């Protein structure tokens, strides 16, 4: 069984709002899914991709910041420290960029695609990407970080086609900004 490039689910798809289920074991099917998710993420010029974004509500996501590359299964954030605000985009919400306040450093644990337990501290871009994808596994999107008034306005504009935000991928350097 080969998955190939996968279709990215867009804002409004119920899969994006659902909480994902834990994975019992990383076997051949999960490894094929992870490979297809990496392929899809790279084709879309992303730095992270969560399984709900491709219609699968399981606790799996992939990350490729250019420096750190890994798959995380059943991830947990154990603790966090510091905070900063950075503009984030999302493959499931094209053209929308949102300032999101997140911890600078996170201590995490997860299972990798070889069923090894990983426990590590993340900082910088990889910390932010991990947290963004972790949010997806809990049905949370970058729009949820907006003030209710701003969120309602952007969603309304997205629905009627009048939203004129930044088009993701226009910058050569987009992958470094997330």
Reduced to 3 states (helix: H, G, I; strand: E, B; else coil), residue 6 is coil
* Residues contacting 159, CB < 8 A, separation 6+: none
Please give the full DSSP string across 87-115, using - where no structure is assigned: EE--TTSTT--EEEEE-SEEEEEEE-TTS
**CA 100/CA 166 separation, integer angstroms:** 16
Residues linked to residue 61 through DSSP beta bridges, in sequence order? 50, 72
133 is catalytic: yes
Answer for the pair 48, 129: CB distance below 8 angstroms, yes or no.
yes
Q: Exactly one of 30, 58, 88, 133 is catalytic; name it.
A: 133
Active site residues: 133
């Amino acid at each position: 069984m080969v998955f190939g490039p996968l279709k990215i689910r867009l804002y409004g798809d119920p899969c994006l709002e659902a909480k994902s289920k834990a994975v019992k074991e990383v076997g051949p099917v999960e490894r094929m899914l992870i490979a297809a998710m990496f392929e899809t993420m790279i084709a879309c010029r992303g730095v992270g991709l969560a399984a709900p974004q491709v219609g699968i509500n399981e606790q799996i996501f992939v990350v490729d910041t250019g420096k750190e590359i890994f798959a995380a299964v059943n991830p947990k954030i154990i603790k966090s420290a510091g905070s900063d605000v950075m503009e984030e985009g999302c493959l499931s919400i094209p053209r929308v960029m949102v300032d999101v306040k997140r911890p600078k450093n996170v201590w995490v644990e997860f299972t990798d695609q070889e069923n090894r337990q990983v426990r590590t501290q993340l900082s910088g871009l990889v910390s932010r990407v991990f947290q963004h994808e972790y949010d997806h596994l809990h049905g949370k999107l970058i729009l949820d970080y907006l003030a209710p008034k701003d969120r309602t306005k952007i969603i309304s504009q997205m629905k009627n086609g009048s939203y004129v935000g930044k088009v993701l991928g226009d910058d050569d350097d987009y992958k470094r900004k997330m």
